[in-house]
Structure formats: structure tokens, C-alpha cells
A and B are shown apart, each in its own frame.
Chain A
Amino acid sequence: MQRNKKIKSLIIPYLFLLPAITILTVLWLYPILYAVWLSFFNLYLMKPGQFSFVGLKNYERFLFRDPLTPIVFNATLVITLGSLVLSILIGLATAMVMKSKTNRFIRSVIITPYAIPTVVVSLITLWIIDPTYGILTYVVHLFTGVKVNMLSNPTLALITILCSFVWKYYPFSTLVLLAALESVPKQFYEAAEIDGASSIQRFIHVTIPSIKPTLLLLILLLTISGFQCFDVIYMVTSGGPSNATNNLVIYTYQNAFTFYRMSYASAIGIFSTFIMLIISILYLRLLGKRE
């Protein structure tokens, strides 16, 4: 009887976990292992029947022989870091505004972009920068007399992507930072005020240290989402012009479904997962050490 009970209590947690674990094994782990396996072969849907083991050749080709690799890495880095910095800055600014103004209308306006589907955000972007009829084109034309085509210049295209990506996702940082800001005890600010701290000093010495743990986690989450930026790029530039906005995720997709190089795409995908995994683990380690 006693033993029976013990066995029962050992098994019960796993029974609760069973459905989720089964689903995630079939739908998450299996596909990843499949992708790893695929990356050692040469599956190319344009040549049916070709399927043989090539070892690490796909990885070697991506790292050393593909002329696009440096460009892709550069785009990934710019988009990830750019969206990270912009989201934090805008998120922090809007969170401060929302904290001081409890006006529901302002709050709603600040968060609305998050409710708009990404594809719609991309279409609005395309409309604003439309080289013939867009509002932005018109405003720039008013001041400079030139009709710019944002998507024909690599730098401008990157800026366009960054702006629409950040416009869609900054509310996430706003909400997370707002929750952190609201949990800072009021007494901290009052004490600082009595000590004669200016509002800038209060921000640097009270606000920042209090929300630091949240901020550090937010940085990781934003890095991951910036690294995985796909929808906006696919809709607005598809990686162009001359691959300036072609990041690792888009390049993976392109190889798979534009060029049908399934194995090569898997190798790129697995490699980028590996990079992100190392960055996340190192970052979390650093965080753990400091705390």
C-alpha cells in the first residue's frame, strides 16, 4: 500500500506533462532533428531523386564559399541591434508617458500597433513609401525636389524595415517596462527628491537600477525576436535591394522555397539556431553570475 502510493506520486507529475511533452516531441523536437539530419544530405527539389550523404559540406559551403554569407550576417546584425536599441528607447519613453498619464485613450493609442497584423503593417509601410503616390515620397519631394524610392537604396531599405518592424513591436517593450516601472516603490522617488535629485538624476539613479532585471531580460527577448524578423522583410523588400535586407531567416526561407535547396536551407537554419542558442546561454550565464 505504502509502496503503491510512492510509485503513484512519482508517476503523477509525468502524467500531467504527458500531453504537452508528446505534442512538443512530435511537432518541435522531431522537425528540428529532421532538419539536422537533412542538413547532412543534398536534397534539392529541382533535381528529383538526388539524395545522398554529404557530411558537413553544406555548412562548409555556407561559411566559406557562399558570397552572400557576409552580406547576410551584416543584415542580420544591423536589423537585430537596430531594432533592439530602438525598441528599448521607444519602449522606455512610451512607458514613462503611460506611467505619468493614466488617460486611457493615450494608453490605447500607444499600444494599438501591437493589435494590427504584421502583414497589414507591412502593407501600410509599402503605401507610405510608394515611390509614385506615397505620403513620405511627397513630403521628401516638398523639401528636396527629389522623388526618392526608399527600396532602391540599401541603407534606406534597411531604415524602412527597421522603422516598420519597431513600430509594430515596440508596444511589447512598453508593456513589459511599464509593469516594471509601476512596481518601483514611490518612496524611492520621494527620498531622492528630498535629497535634491533632479529628474534626470532620479531617472539614472532610481529608475534604471530598479527596472534593471526586467531590462536585461527584455534585451534578450528583443534580440531573439529581432534575429527572427521575417514577416516585414518578406512583405516589404523580400531581402532586396541587392540583398541589403536579407537576414539569416529570410535567406533560409529563400533557399528552401525559392531555390528549393532544402538541405542547404536546413544547414543555414540549424547554424543560425546554434548561434542564437550560444548567445542566449552566454547571456543568461552572465546574468546569473551578476545576480
Chain B
Amino acid sequence: MLYTALLPEDYVWSWPPVIIPPRLNFSTFITVFEERPILLWLSNTILVSVLTVILSVPPALLAGYAFYRFDFRGKSSLFRLLFLTMVVPPTVIIVPYYLVLDSWGLTDSLIGLAITYLAFTIPTEIIIFYGYLFSIPRELEEAALLDGCSPLGVFVRIILPLSVPGIIAISIYSFSIAWNEFAFAMTLLRSPSNWTAVAGIRTFIGQWMLAWDKVMITCVYFTIPAIIFYFLTQKYFVSGMTAGALKF
């Protein structure tokens, strides 16, 4: 990818393909910014991803704790319902979203897009967080309850501070879902100024079909943040994902 991005323009279309380019071309790195609003798309993506995290994590934390701590009627069937959400293909929900969000004035809006992601991120976040809670010793909660703490107090004062790694794991999970999501972003966002990175990059097919150097350079711009983010958070990401998969 980097390799094609650096190829001088006249070598991009060479046959046979050159293995070691005779000279490197860095100008595409700059010119691509003049042709497409790449920074805007990137900041849109970041905005949607952050919004998704902010909106989805708190309800998931509360629900995950409820499943872990309390026994109540309908608990097991509700928990099973969480898994059912995975079975429904996102494309089934796109049609209703498209029609309903339109009437609510939420199509072509980044907030509207972030809201649609809640339906996919919250159930998995609940499952991951539920699994995480088992690593917290129960005695602490019981001691706090004896001291006259309310259930919400226990949750806020004892559980939340102890489950920071779990909270980070589910934040990363929902962030990466929002960062990568494609079908909703391209359907619900109409104006190019609202596009997220994936929705924007899609338009390269067709228009820039042959300009592989430009396509690849944009790919580099969109991938590098994802990879850096991924390696910084790998520890949490991996543990969260496997916990989520194994617990169910």
C-alpha cells in the first residue's frame, strides 16, 4: 500500500509492475488533500466514533451490572435476547432506519448515524462487561452494602473504579465498530461534507479507478490512525473480544 502510494505517477501504470521504484514520489501525499476533503472525512469519523462511545457505554455498564448482580424475573430470556441481536443482519434494519430517521430529520446527520450504531454496540458491550465483572471480588460490594450504601452507590463508588480496564475494553470495541462501519454510513449520509472516511473512500471506485497511487495514499491516511490506535489498545481489545466470545 505504502509502496504504490510512493510510486511516481508514470510508474503506477507500468507493465510489468516495477518491484523497486527508481525514485520515490512524495508529492501525492500533499496533492490528494487538495482534491478531496480528507481531513474533514477523518474528523467526521472521529466525531461519530466518539459519540457512539459516549452514548453507548453508560447504558451498557448499568445493564451489564444488573445482569451480574441481581436476580430478577425474565433475566435469562433477556440475556438470550442480547445474543439474538447478533443474528439480525444490519441490512434488515437499514430500510426502516432510512424511512424513520428521514421523518425524524436525522438522515444525513452524524448524530443520527451515531445513534443507529447503538443498536449494534450496546448488546455486545453488555456481554463483554458482564464477563469482566466476574473478576471483581464480591466481598467489596457486600461490605459497602453493610455500611449502608445504596445499590447505585455501590455501582458508582465500588464497581466503576474497579472496572476501568473493562470500561476501556468496551469503549474500544464500540469505537472500532463505529470507525469501520460501512453500510449505514454510506446509506444514511448524503452530502459529501458529512461523509465519514469509509463513505468517502468508497467514491474512489469508479472515479479514480486507475489512480492507484491516490487511492492508496488515502488508504494510508485512513489506516494509520486505526493501526496506531489498535496497537496502543491491543491488550484491552484482545481481552475484551475474547471475553465476549467465550462467555456466551
Binding site for B on A (CB under 8 A): 10, 12-14, 16-21, 23-24, 27-28, 30-32, 34-35, 38, 108, 111-112, 114-120, 123-124, 126-127, 130, 132-135, 138, 141, 172, 175-176, 179-180, 214, 217-218, 221, 224, 227-228, 230-231, 234-235, 248-249, 252-253, 256-257, 262, 265-266, 269-270, 272-273, 276-277, 280
Contacts and interface: CB of A to CB of B under 8 A. Distances in A.
A259 to B, nearest CB: 12
Nearest to A114: B230
B204 A108 contact: no
Nearest to B65: A16
Contacts, number: 217
Interface of B: 1, 4, 12-17, 58-60, 62-63, 65-66, 69-72, 75, 78, 83-100, 115-116, 118-119, 122-123, 126, 151, 155, 179-180, 182-183, 187, 197-198, 201-202, 204-205, 210, 212, 215-216, 219, 222-223, 226-227, 229-231, 234, 238, 241-242, 245-246, 248
A30 B72 CA distance: 24
A31 B119 contact: yes
B183 A273 contact: no
Given A34-B96, A38-B96, A20 B59 contact: yes
B17 A138 contact: yes
Given A27-B119, A28-B123, A34-B99, 15 more contacts: A13-B70, A16-B66, A18-B62, A19-B62, A115-B227, A116-B227, A117-B223, A118-B182, A176-B241, A230-B90, A230-B183, A235-B205, A272-B89, A272-B92, A276-B88
Q: Which of B65, B90, B197, B210 has the most CB of A within 10 A?
A: B90
Given A10-B72, A133-B13, A253 B183 contact: yes
Given A117-B222, A231-B182, A133 B12 contact: yes
A16 B210 CA distance: 54
B17 A217 contact: no
B245 A17 contact: no
A224 B84 CA distance: 11
B100 to A, nearest CB: 7
A30 to B, nearest CB: 8
B92 A230 contact: no
Nearest to B85: A28
Nearest to B216: A127
Contacts of B198: 117-119
A120 B62 contact: no
B246 A273 contact: no
Contact of A120 (B12, B63, B187, B201): B201
A111 B118 CA distance: 26
B205 to A, nearest CB: 7
B180 A256 contact: no
Nearest to A16: B66
B95 A230 contact: no
Contacts of B95: 35, 38, 256, 262, 265-266, 269
Nearest to B243: A179
A191 to B, nearest CB: 25
Given A116-B223, A123-B219, A24 B230 contact: no
A16 B69 CA distance: 10
Contacts of B13: 132-133
3 shortest interchain CB distances as A-B pairs: A269-B92, A115-B230, A16-B66
Contacts of B62: 16-20
Contacts of B58: 19
Q: Which of A16, A38, A277 has the most CB of B within 10 A?
A: A16
Contacts of A280: 83-84, 87
Contacts of A272: 89, 92
B61 to A, nearest CB: 9
B242 A175 contact: yes
Q: Which of A13, A111, A114, A253 has the most CB of B within 10 A?
A: A13
Q: Which of B66, B84, B100 has the most CB of A within 10 A?
A: B66
Contacts of B12: 133
B132 to A, nearest CB: 14
Contact of A19 (B15, B59, B84): B59
